Amino acid sequence: MDSTLPEPGPMNPAEANRRPDGGLHARTPRGSRPDAETPEKLYLIKAVPALRATYQVRLLAFRAAQEGKRLVLRVPRACRFDPYLQEMIRAFPGIIEREDLA
Q: Which amino acid is at 33?
A: R
Q: Print the domain residue range for 57.
A: 30-100
pLDDT for 55 beyond 70: yes
Residue 11 placed within a domain: no
Residue 63 placed within a domain: yes
Residue 17 placed within a domain: no
pLDDT for 51 beyond 70: yes
Distance between CA 85 and CA 80 in Å, rounded? Answer: 10
Residue 6 placed within a domain: no
Distance between CA 73 and CA 85 in Å, rounded? Answer: 11
Residue 15 placed within a domain: no
Lowest model confidence (mean pLDDT) among 2-11, 62-71, 80-89: 2-11
Give the pLDDT score at 23.
61
Q: What is the pTM of this model?
A: 0.70
Q: What is the mean pLDDT of the chain?
A: 82
What is the count of structural domains for the chain? 1
